[in-house]
Chain A
Amino acid sequence: MTEKIIIAGSGGQGVMLLGKVIAEAAMKENKFVTWLPCYGAEVRGGTAYCMVIVSNKGIGSPYVDKADSVIIMNSPSLAKFEGRLAKGGFLLINSSLVHAQIKTAKAKSYPFTEIAQACGNIKTANMVALGALIAHRNILKEKSCIEVMKETASSVKKELIEINISALKEGIRLK
């Protein structure tokens, strides 16, 4: 199994963090993983993206030319990355912020931002997307993602961990 993933959105949507949670969870499952961020002059409001590869064998290039899965969190990212989907790849779209017509056959749209708001924190849209990704693609276990969340957030922010876990579970339920 090798899954090449591109995650793209607006700076501040937690695109980098979403990639890092995938990477940490894959490491927990003893998989090979690489995480490569864009590191230009990205700022809040600009576009940000990262590339993650999860595999059962050693990974060559961390750079993803054609992705097996692309997660699109906002409109500008769709224009930039829809063409980077491999043939038969899986496109996952945040329909709260993307209203465009999708040409790709294998695409799923869910309102990640609105679901996150319902969970109590708009910033957890990235974790809703993570839930949807692992439900559709079966690349990681829910348990590993939750462990990573618990380790990532500091202990003073316990309530944040709970909101993130519920966001993840909402995402998993989307399938």
Chain B
Amino acid sequence: MKVLISGNEAIAEGAIQAGCSFYAGYPITPQNEIPAYMSVHMPQAGGVFIQAESELAAINMVYGASATGVRSMTSSSSPGVSLKQEGISYIAGAELPAVIVNIMRGGPGLGNIAPSQSDYFQATHGGGHGDYRLIVLAPATVQEAYDFMSLGFSLAEKYRNPAMILGDGMLAQMMEPINIKKSRIKNQKYARPWALTGCRGRKPNIVKSFYMQEGDLEKFNLHLQEKYKTIEAQEQRHEGLFLDDAEIVLVSYGSMSRIAKGAVQRLREKGKKVGLLRPVSLWPFPKKAFGQIRVHPGGRLKFLVIEMSYGQMLNDVKLALNCKYPVEFLGRAGGGIPTEDEIIKRTLSLLSR
């Protein structure tokens, strides 16, 4: 069935279709349509919707609900997600699955409500305290916003690790037709022997992120590191376009990648050898895809990273390329959005050098 739906509504409906039965959140623009949709449809689906008294309360409710083994989520926007960081670290430390949606807006501070990619650092390189990782997925279309909810829950359960869906105000507010078909979604559910379900007849389960005995916390951290290595090996995702003969590869994620894709198509029509590499999983970062790009015999190869920020993904691209090729940057923030024309102008100037 094809429906016209906004990114926010697609996220909410995608979560319900994925079997999410607990949502707690606190209002903030530009993600308010998620709790609004949830408040109507979650009870209808037999789940629980709570408008919490604060972001802190919401993330800790998710922590508690997830410990009982139900698919749980929260959503917010940049300043609200900053408030949730303590809880996210606890969820990672307790090895619980949960999905956190961040519809990014302009920052820092209260910032504004315009589309931005201000929180890449926070999402992929910590955010909360401790050596933990989030699985971070960045949808670029409303269809993906819908599909990535079940993917996010599946990965979170598979690895007992919180997952984040990282979008922005443009993706969240825009409407696009999408296909809603339950069978198409890779929605894998996993057993939860760790869940707190009442211990009559079995050994009690303990969910915690607290290790007082000497050596225990280090051992636990080593276990986490092993898990993160597995995720890095198995869960890298990307989309590539015209990478075989590209002389310049644009690198961009989320909404920004749509604009970059438009520029790539226009440049190809002019016969320019331009490609696009779009990280779909921001963590694990799709390093393998970067490693596979080869310079054309007798040709040259450059990269242009484009973000709605002043260069947060840029460092990961440089690391993935091991400084083998020149990496340039184009970015705007605070509500400024690089346009197709700006991208084309910059790409042409880089090609002519």
Bound together:
yes
Query: Counting chain A CB atoms within 10 Å of each CB, which of B4, B170, B260, B263 scores highest?
Result: B4
> In the assembled complex, which residues on chain A have CB atoms less than 8 Å from the CB atom of B262?
60-61
The contact size tier of chain A is 10 to 19
Contact of B339 with A65 in the complex, beta carbons under 8 Å: yes
Task: Return B123 CB to nearest CB of chain A, in Å.
Answer: 22
Give the complex CA separation of A60 and B261 in angstroms. Answer: 6
Contact of B4 with A27 in the complex, beta carbons under 8 Å: yes
Contact of B339 with A39 in the complex, beta carbons under 8 Å: no
Task: Return A152 CB to nearest CB of chain B, in Å.
Answer: 11
Contact of B258 with A20 in the complex, beta carbons under 8 Å: no
Cross-interface CB contact of A35 among B174, B260, B341, cutoff 8 Å: B174
A37 within 8 A of partner (CB): yes
Contact of B174 with A60 in the complex, beta carbons under 8 Å: no
B337 within 8 A of partner (CB): yes
Contact of B170 with A35 in the complex, beta carbons under 8 Å: no
Give the complex CA separation of A37 and B176 in angstroms. Answer: 12
Contacts A34-B175, A39-B173, A60-B258; is A24 near B340 (CB within 8 Å)?
Answer: no
Give the complex CA separation of A83 and B22 in angstroms. Answer: 47
Contacts A24-B4, A27-B2, A62-B258; is A39 near B169 (CB within 8 Å)?
Answer: yes
Give the complex CA separation of A73 and B265 in angstroms. Answer: 34
> In the assembled complex, which residues on chain A have CB atoms less than 8 Å from the CB atom of B113?
39-40
B87 within 8 A of partner (CB): no
- Which chain B residues (257-279) contact chain A, with CB distance < 8 Å? 258-263, 265
> In the assembled complex, which residues on chain A have CB atoms less than 8 Å from the CB atom of B263?
60
> In the assembled complex, which residues on chain B have CB atoms less than 8 Å from the CB atom of A24?
4
> In the assembled complex, which residues on chain B have CB atoms less than 8 Å from the CB atom of A65?
339-341
Closest to B169 in A: A39
Give the complex CA separation of A32 and B178 in angstroms. Answer: 10
B29 within 8 A of partner (CB): yes
Query: Counting chain B CB atoms within 10 Å of each CB, which of A23, A32, A39 scores highest?
Result: A39
B30 within 8 A of partner (CB): yes
> In the assembled complex, which residues on chain B have CB atoms less than 8 Å from the CB atom of A27?
2, 4, 177
A140 within 8 A of partner (CB): no
Contact of B4 with A63 in the complex, beta carbons under 8 Å: no
A145 within 8 A of partner (CB): no
Contact of A39 with B29 in the complex, beta carbons under 8 Å: yes
> In the assembled complex, which residues on chain A have CB atoms less than 8 Å from the CB atom of B169?
39
Give the complex CA separation of A59 and B140 in angstroms. Answer: 12
Cross-interface CB contact of B4 among A23, A36, A59, cutoff 8 Å: A23
Give the complex CA separation of A33 and B6 in angstroms. Answer: 12
Residues 229-273 of chain B, each 1 if its beta carbon lies under 8 Å from chain A, else 0:
000000000000000000000000001001111110100000000
Task: Return A169 CB to nearest CB of chain B, in Å.
Answer: 24
Closest to B2 in A: A27
Give the complex CA separation of A63 and B114 in angstroms. Answer: 12
- Which chain A residues (41-76) contact chain B, with CB distance < 8 Å? 59-63, 65
Give the complex CA separation of A39 and B259 in angstroms. Answer: 20
> In the assembled complex, which residues on chain B have CB atoms less than 8 Å from the CB atom of A20?
4, 175
Cross-interface CB contact of B176 among A34, A40, A63, cutoff 8 Å: A34
Task: Return A31 CB to nearest CB of chain B, in Å.
Answer: 9
Give the complex CA separation of A37 and B337 in angstroms. Answer: 15
- Which chain B residues (2-60) contact chain A, with CB distance < 8 Å? 2, 4, 29-30
Contact of B261 with A35 in the complex, beta carbons under 8 Å: no
- Which chain A residues (82-115) contact chain B, with CB distance < 8 Å? none
Closest to A57 in B: B265
Closest to B338 in A: A61
Give the complex CA separation of A65 and B177 in angstroms. Answer: 22
Closest to B266 in A: A60
Contact of B170 with A33 in the complex, beta carbons under 8 Å: no
Residues 147-171 of chain B, each 1 if its beta carbon lies under 8 Å from chain A, else 0:
0000000000000000000000110
- Which chain B residues (192-206) contact chain A, with CB distance < 8 Å? none
Give the complex CA separation of A37 and B115 in angstroms. Answer: 12
Task: Return B275 CB to nearest CB of chain A, in Å.
Answer: 15
Contact of A35 with B175 in the complex, beta carbons under 8 Å: yes
Contact of A62 with B174 in the complex, beta carbons under 8 Å: yes
Query: Counting chain B CB atoms within 10 Å of each CB, which of A27, A36, A40, A61 scores highest?
Result: A61
> In the assembled complex, which residues on chain B have CB atoms less than 8 Å from the CB atom of A37?
173-174
25 A-B residue pairings within 8 Å (CB atoms): A23-B4, A23-B175, A27-B2, A32-B177, A34-B174, A34-B175, A35-B4, A36-B173, A39-B30, A39-B169, A60-B262, A60-B263, A60-B265, A60-B340, A61-B255, A61-B259, A61-B339, A61-B340, A62-B174, A63-B170, A63-B259, A63-B337, A63-B339, A65-B339, A65-B340
What 7 additional pairs, Cβ within 8 angstroms, besides A20-B175, A27-B177, A36-B174? A27-B4, A35-B175, A60-B259, A61-B255, A61-B340, A62-B176, A63-B170
